[in-house]
Structure 1
Amino acid sequence: MFDYLIIGGGSAGCVLAGRLSEDPGVTVALLEAGPADRSVLIHCPAGLAAMAKFGLLGWGLHTVPQAGLNGRCGYQPRGKVLGGSSSLNAMVYTRGFPADYDFWAAQGNPGWSYAELLPYFKKAEHNERGADDFHGVGGPLNVMDLRSPNRFGELFVQAGEQAGCPRNVDFNGASQEGVGPYQVTHKNGERCSAAKAYVTPNLSRPNLKVFTGALTTRILLDGKRAVGVEYLHEGQTRRLKCRREVLLSAGAIQSPQILMLSGIGPREHLLAHQIASVHHLPGVGQHLHDHIDMVQVVDAPRAKDLFGVSPEGAWRMLKGIFEWRKQRSGMLTTNFAEAGGFIKSDPAAAIPDLQLHFVIGKLINHGRTTALGHGYSCHVCLLQPQSRGSVRLSSKDPQALPLVDPAFFREPDDMARMVRGFKLMRHILQQPALAQFGGRELAATAKAQTDDEIAQTIRNLADTIYHPVGSCRMGPGAMDVVDAELRAHGLQGLRVVDASIMPRIVSGNTNAPVIMIAEKAADLIKQDARRA
């Protein structure tokens, strides 16, 4: 028997485990379906390339066929390991815009405005640049500038300036617009995942128990109260009970799946899968949305200091391995997406609606396709897509993967803005700072020149940049799943704490916001416990 049961050892779950177990008077169990985070590919920042290429430590998820992608099934990598996707991601630390959170609050969610959430961002953070009005020191999550940046990141920033974009040295400061280097969640030349920040330092706490290889099959209910969790471990069904709360932090794909497997969700859908409807909550699995993304790849054979497959590249990689093992510095401390920016598809827009990630290598098919030679790539993603999709069960078997439908480009405006974004990205990459290397855009995109040709190429090649949100939306409405304290509507002892609760996606990478959500949730939970 534990006081709190946390389902999912990803970014949010790790924060909850670390924060709630600070109180020696409570007991906390964290259940993670994947293994412990022991792989060197996790801890070495550049290891993310190998994990992506070979699909390591993930769930193997894909979308259902997407009409907006010409019938293709999109890739949906989600971490299945302690630390979740924070153990696999590109470690970019961005928070989104203040307007994102003010929108959340305006939808009937008191306490979720930017001014109210900034203290939680700062509480989580130890920024090696130091504390200021926007940043904190002393928090568990280490944030820093890249230890050994590649010179092409700065060249990209210069190209952006040549194209008319302002330089921005802090995307999480007073303004988000412009181009600049990204800060990363690293520490001493290694990845600083949520697990390493919040769980690893606290494993010796007697009141914290971490279960790995524990696949949650359903939440146990006594009437309308969550009282425990059923899970599979080494082929055996086991149960854990809790005194206070079940905290569901399995992410925007698995959290709605687990709710529906537990009989919580749209009644008709559950009955269609022979699952008894315990609590009709029609919004579960609805409102899924994601950042759709398009990559332009440039072949630059003269730029041998970029990552690439060549004799020179192999020799640099070998030296890099030895340097990282000995000093935790050098080329293997890269996160690949070293620089980027936030730009507007329409100059009249109030805030940027596009994000750029500049990659110091040729990125094809999420890095799963080997690209010979040297070059660089740039992503452009749509920060505020209008399209909304869903997560649905494929089976009542908890080991069956759910049906993921982000409905990419269902809304025509999403494509119109992506076309403009692709042209802006291409314009930046054609500026003198990068053009001096004589790079050539790969034929897959270079042949697209008219708006119609660019749109068709986007449908052929675009995919997620790994930010699904919204499938257990926070709000007071009939199609919302949790209230402003993240408690499931109509139930007791159950909260959802992860990216699924976002009323609308943030304008940037989602890892830092998810950590913030969990920091706030931990305070809400502690406040409730004190009132009880």
Structure 2
Amino acid sequence: MVDTLDFGSFDYVIVGGGTAGCVLANRLSADPDVTVLLLEAGGKDSWVWLHIPAGYLFCIGNPRTDWCFRTESEPGLNGRSIHYARGKVLGGCSSINGMIAMRGQARDYDEWAGLTGDDRWSWKEVLPVFKGSEDYWRGADEMHGVGGEWRVERQRLRWDLLDRFAEAAHQVGIPHSDDFNRGDNLGVGSFEVNQKGGIRWSAAKAFLRPALSRQNLKLATDASIDRLEIADGRVTGVRFTVKGEPARATARVETVLAAGAIGSPAILQRSGVGPAEHLRALGIPVVLDAPGVGGNLQDHLQLRMVYKVDGIMTLNKRAGSLFGKAMMGLEYALFRRGPLTMAPSQLGVFAKSGPEAETADLEYHVQPLSLEKFGDPLHAFAAFTASVCDLRPASRGTVRITAADHHVNPAIAPRYLSHPADRAKAARALALTRRIVAQPALAPYRPEEYRPGPAFRTEEELARAAGDIGTTIFHPVGTCRMGRADDAAAVTDPELRVKGLRGLRVIDASIMPTLTSGNTNTPTVMIAERGAALMRAERRAALRG
């Protein structure tokens, strides 16, 4: 019999060292009277490509830094299974993502407040939380903060091609925006990024690293979570393995799941918390029948349209020679500028899919490059990519474990384009892209549609094309969603406590009732800030008696 290593007893045990876990570890350990254990299943963030912004090209799809999940075969994607990247390293997805600093829209958070019955999740109430974390390059104003850990900067390069695309967007009536983070992100402009001086600024750097010197914070990497320990309706700790050896840790006050929209529901299900029928079929004793665990999966599906161009510089052309690559490397080494500082997308466009949309419900990520998929080489021809996603999809999917063994990946079924409204909007989005590209601003460069190709014309044909070219933009949320006390499908309450259990919270992107209207990393920082504040307030109240 293999002995189980006892990691000891802590006030708080945090499961997951991604974006939320790093924030939580910092905020909770700021109280010297509490002890905190942070468990991360991935490794340390010491690899050089985790710090060079363009390194996402080498991190996504790499088992060193990515869990390399795949979806089930998706009917909406014409039977395709697609890669589903999740960060496998300290900092989680903030260490491998596109670095785009995006809050979403005010209406997103007002919707959360309505769905939960708790005004603390409204835009008015979360805006100060966003500002409190932020260190904004332009300085402080009514919408932005300075001095926080979460650095936001403008990008350190420009492309004539993107300027022309922005002009074309103006020509179809989309206004200019110089700030997508003021509550209504309608418009076209440059994305701002989580970088510091041309270097990726992850949650591990921003929040965790400054806290690691505290004696009351312990970190364990390569700690793969098996299950929660539950006794008499209370979570008392966790079982896990460290470098393959079994271990356990006890939480005196609370355990926090911060393992993300895939990891958190999977851990709950392995612990006997989830849809009872599914758990019984796997031979897992049911501790709590919680049908919402692993349901409500939402994600942004990007439709990647590729256009060949002529007579204007693209990254395909610039990086197409050894000399070009060498000059890019030299520019970065000397000035921290140029293509190696690139986020995957530099230009953003937020647009309405039709007159019925009250706010922007489409987001474009426009790139001066093209490739078949992440990990593949750039195309040999000059081209750009205009990826468009439905910001508020109606389709809902699931995350379900397929075995009690924590080494077995869960089944991820986003069910993209399963709702008729999503298929119709996808067709409109592709048509809008064609309208933009057909404007005079781009005409001198003779854009030629390469993907999906001009043969797709009718709404039904375009919807089918969306299934051919659609892929995730890596924004899964909602699988442990929060809701009102009488909402049987809600997994967590508005204070992020798991309903039906004591001593357990979920604090990560999985608690979102609905997707935010934009990239999801910065909202996850806010969720963790709010969650940590709720936990600290509860502790203070308990000490007062």
TM-score (norm 2): 0.94
1:15 is displaced (CA, Å) by 0.7
1:146 is displaced (CA, Å) by 0.6
Change over 3 Å in CA distance of 1:311–1:475 after alignment to 2: closer
Query: Which residue of 231, 241, 256 corresponds with 2:240?
Result: 231
Partners of 2:61 and 2:499 lie apart in 1 by 40
Cα-to-partner distance string for 1:329-376 (whole Å, 9 max, x where unaligned): 222111130011111111232111111110121142245354223321
**Residue aligning to 2:296:** 287
Where do 5+ consecutive residues of structure 1 fail to align?
Answer: none
**Secondary structure of 1:81 counterpart:** coil
**Secondary structure of 1:422 counterpart:** helix
**Secondary structure of 1:133 counterpart:** coil
Partners of 2:157 and 2:503 lie apart in 1 by 47
Partners of 1:281 and 1:487 lie apart in 2 by 13
AA at the equivalent of 1:289? Q
**Residue aligning to 2:383:** 375
1:459 aligns with 2:467: yes
Cα-to-partner distance string for 1:139-162 (whole Å, 9 max, x where unaligned): 101001012233333222212112
**Residue aligning to 2:458:** 450
Change over 3 Å in CA distance of 1:224–1:457 after alignment to 2: same
1:483 aligns with 2:493: yes
Q: Work out whether residues 42 and 89 of structure 2, in 8 Å CA contact, stay in contact via their aligned partners in 1.
A: yes
Q: Work out whether residues 295 and 380 of structure 1, in 8 Å CA contact, stay in contact via their aligned partners in 2.
A: yes
1:70 is displaced (CA, Å) by 1.2
**Residue aligning to 1:142:** 151
**Secondary structure of 2:382 counterpart:** strand
Q: Work out whether residues 15 and 40 of structure 2, in 8 Å CA contact, stay in contact via their aligned partners in 1.
A: yes
Cα-to-partner distance string for 1:246-297 (whole Å, 9 max, x where unaligned): 1101111111000011111111111111111112212111111111110111
Q: Work out whether residues 272 and 288 of structure 2, in 8 Å CA contact, stay in contact via their aligned partners in 1.
A: yes
1:68 aligns with 2:79: no
**Residue aligning to 2:521:** 511
1:527 aligns with 2:523: no
Cα-to-partner distance string for 1:180-238 (whole Å, 9 max, x where unaligned): 11110000110111111101122211111111111111111122111111111111110
AA at the equivalent of 2:532? A
Partners of 1:55 and 1:439 lie apart in 2 by 36
Partners of 1:56 and 1:155 lie apart in 2 by 38
1:194 aligns with 2:203: yes
The aligned runs of 1:357-376 (5 Å cut-off) are: 357-368=365-376, 370-376=378-384
AA at the equivalent of 1:124? S
1:221 aligns with 2:230: yes
1:54 is displaced (CA, Å) by 4.7
Change over 3 Å in CA distance of 1:54–1:246 after alignment to 2: closer
Larger mean Cα displacement after TM superposition, 514-523 or 174-183? 174-183
1:313 is displaced (CA, Å) by 4.4
AA at the equivalent of 1:482? T
1:321 is displaced (CA, Å) by 1.3
**Secondary structure of 1:247 counterpart:** strand
Partners of 1:329 and 1:277 lie apart in 2 by 54
Change over 3 Å in CA distance of 1:505–1:174 after alignment to 2: closer
Partners of 2:491 and 2:441 lie apart in 1 by 49
Partners of 1:239 and 1:324 lie apart in 2 by 45
1:174 is displaced (CA, Å) by 5.0
1:257 aligns with 2:266: yes
**Residue aligning to 2:15:** 7
Q: Work out whether residues 256 and 472 of structure 1, in 8 Å CA contact, stay in contact via their aligned partners in 2.
A: yes
Change over 3 Å in CA distance of 1:229–1:166 after alignment to 2: same
The aligned runs of 1:6-155 (5 Å cut-off) are: 6-52=14-60, 54=62, 56-110=64-118, 111-155=120-164
Q: Work out whether residues 230 and 237 of structure 2, in 8 Å CA contact, stay in contact via their aligned partners in 1.
A: yes
Partners of 1:28 and 1:516 lie apart in 2 by 20
Q: Work out whether residues 310 and 372 of structure 1, in 8 Å CA contact, stay in contact via their aligned partners in 2.
A: no
Change over 3 Å in CA distance of 1:359–1:503 after alignment to 2: same
**Residue aligning to 1:242:** 251
Partners of 2:322 and 2:100 lie apart in 1 by 26
Partners of 1:312 and 1:329 lie apart in 2 by 19
Larger mean Cα displacement after TM superposition, 366-375 or 270-279? 366-375
Larger mean Cα displacement after TM superposition, 142-151 or 91-100? 142-151
AA at the equivalent of 2:465? T
**Residue aligning to 1:297:** 306
Q: Over aligned residues, Cα RMSD in angstroms?
A: 1.6
Change over 3 Å in CA distance of 1:166–1:214 after alignment to 2: same
Taking only the aligned residue pairs, the percentage that are identical comes to 43
1:329 aligns with 2:337: yes
Larger mean Cα displacement after TM superposition, 9-18 or 444-453? 444-453
Q: Work out whether residues 297 and 479 of structure 2, in 8 Å CA contact, stay in contact via their aligned partners in 1.
A: yes
AA at the equivalent of 1:509? N
TM-score (norm 1): 0.97
Change over 3 Å in CA distance of 1:435–1:50 after alignment to 2: farther
1:28 is displaced (CA, Å) by 1.2
Partners of 2:175 and 2:154 lie apart in 1 by 19
Where do 5+ consecutive residues of structure 2 fail to align?
Answer: 1-8
Q: Work out whether residues 369 and 378 of structure 2, in 8 Å CA contact, stay in contact via their aligned partners in 1.
A: no
**Residue aligning to 2:350:** 342
Partners of 2:59 and 2:325 lie apart in 1 by 17
1:510 is displaced (CA, Å) by 0.5
**Residue aligning to 1:356:** 364
Query: Which residue of 123, 140, 161 corresponds with 2:170?
Result: 161
Partners of 1:234 and 1:346 lie apart in 2 by 52
Partners of 1:522 and 1:446 lie apart in 2 by 51
